[in-house]
Amino acid sequence: MKKFPKEFEFIAVEGAIGVGKTSFARILGKILNAKIVLENVGENPFIKEFYQNPKEYAFITQINFLFLRYEQQKKLIQRDLFYPRTIVDYALWKDRIFACVNLNEKELALYDKIADLLIKDVPIPDLIIFLQSGYKRLMENIRRRNYPFEENITEDYLKIINEAYNQYFFNYNISSLLVINTSEIDFVMNPEEINKIIDYIKTPFMGTKYYNPKG
């Protein structure tokens, strides 16, 4: 297995709900001896109410997520001297993907004013690994992991979120991006898949690369 590029010191793993960001980040972090920083969605006290009544709880849920994510990511400016790199299971910018889907026009305008003040204070990942999948596979994963606050997620909502993710990363150009088709692989049951991904990234790159494990 070839060495992972040292230029990629700060890596964010991204993807829609249920794609396996946290599992991927944990496995990758263990292989690369990285500091792992994980988002705890359950810390948002409004998330369960949001899935029960999206229109009423959308704005307060989104703002709460924004501040939770901002506070966590702002701490990443201080690099840990004991680890060669840091891996997080989300990028702060993904917050706006959900905001665009869940908020009305006035709420989104206010959200953007707040977000613009915060985002400039957080570090930009050297590399984003975007785990891409079909929404039916995502729903299967969500049902399998059985988190109580996700029990009211519908296929229609998940399809909209998944399409929003695809559109966002189709136009992404802030840093290096690796897009991985995960629809037919299980990196939890077969961690060797992540070794293949590490091997695929032979040298640092700018722009976007695509990796399809099944060719």
Mapped to the 3 state alphabet, what secondary structure does 76-132 carry?
A: HHCCCCCCCCEEECCCCCHHHHHHHHHCCHHHHHHHHHHHHHHHCCCCCCCEEEEEE
What is the tens place of the pLDDT at every residue in 81-114?
Answer: 567 789 999 999 889 999 999 999 999 999 999 9
Instruction: Write down the residue that tokens 């599992």 correspond to.
Output: 23
Q: Which one-letter DSSP state was computed for residue 7?
A: T
Output the pLDDT for position 80: 63
Closest by CA to 165, choosing from 21, 9, 25, is 21
What is the Cα–Cα distance from 15 to 129, expressed in whole angstroms?
8
First to last CA, the chain: 19
Q: Which one-letter DSSP state was computed for residue 191?
A: T
Rounded mean pLDDT of the chain?
89
What is the Cα–Cα distance from 112 to 132, expressed in whole angstroms?
26
User: What are the CA-CA distances from residue 119 to residues 98, 111, 128 (Å)?
Assistant: 16, 12, 16
What is the Cα–Cα distance from 63 to 52, expressed in whole angstroms?
18
Where do the domains of the chain lie, and which CATH numbers do they carry? 10-211 (3.40.50.300)
What is the tens place of the pLDDT at every residue in 141-193?
Answer: 999 988 888 888 999 999 999 999 999 999 999 999 999 998 888 877 777 78
What is the tens place of the pLDDT at every residue in 50-86?
Answer: 999 999 999 999 999 999 999 998 888 676 656 778 9
What is the Cα–Cα distance from 37 to 35, expressed in whole angstroms?
7
Q: Is the pLDDT of residue 1 over 50?
A: no
